[in-house]
Structure 1
Amino acid sequence: MWGLLISIVMAILIGTIGDALVKNRMPGGMLGAMVAGFAGGWLGSLLLGSWGPVIGGFAVIPAIVGAALFVLLLGMLSQAIRKSA
C-alpha cells in the first residue's frame, strides 16, 4: 500500500520537474504530471539505465530526463496537430 502511494507521489514530482525543465504546459494537471512521470521513468530507464538514487521504484535522474523528453515530444506532437488542423 505504501509502496504504491510513494510511487504515485514520485511520478507526480518527476513529471512536474520534467515539465518545468522543458517549460511546456503538460495538460491534465496532476494527472498529466503523473502520466509524464510514469512514462518518463520508463523512457529514462530504457535510454539511460538505472543509475542514481532509486526512490519508489524510480531511478530519479534518468526518470526526470525521460519525463522532460516525454513532455517535449508530447508538446511537439500537439503543436504539429494544431498546425495541420
Structure 2
Amino acid sequence: MLVGAVIGAIAGGITSQGKSMGCAANIIAGLVGSSLGQALLGDWGPQVAGMAIIPSIIGAVIIVWIVAFIISKSN
C-alpha cells in the first residue's frame, strides 16, 4: 500500500492533479494504475514490492488523468 501511495503521489505530481485528489485517491490511483500499467506494458524495469516502477507510474498517470477529466466534466 505504501508503494501504491508513492506511485500515486508521483503520478499526481506529474499531472499536477495530486493535491485535488487527496491521499486516499492517490493510493487507489497508484494501486489501480500499477495494475493497468503492468497489464499494458509488462513488468520491465526496477521492481519494488512486486510492482514494476516505470509501468506502474505510467498507468497511474493515465488513471489520474481519467479521474481528473471525469471530475472536471461533472462540475
Shift of 1:30: 2.0
What is the match of residue 72 of structure 1? 65
Q: Percent identity?
A: 31
TM-score by length of 1: 0.81
TM-score for both structures, normalised by structure 2 = 0.91
1:36 paired residue among 29, 36, 49: 29
Q: CA deviation at 1:13?
A: 0.3
CA apart distance, 1:62: 0.3
Structure 1: segments with no counterpart, 5+ residues: 1-7
Deviations 1:1-24 (A, max 9, x none): xxxxxxx11000000000101111
Instruction: Tell me whether 1:81 sits opposite 2:74 in the alignment.
Output: yes
For the pair shown, the structure with the greater C-alpha radius of gyration is 1
- Tell me the CA shift for residue 44 of structure 1: 0.4
Match of 1:47 in 2: 40
Q: How well do the aligned residues superpose, as a CA RMSD in angstroms?
A: 1.1
Alignment partner, residue 62 of structure 1: 55
Number of equivalent positions: 74
Q: Which runs of 4+ in 1 moved over 2 A?
A: none
SS at match of 2:23: helix
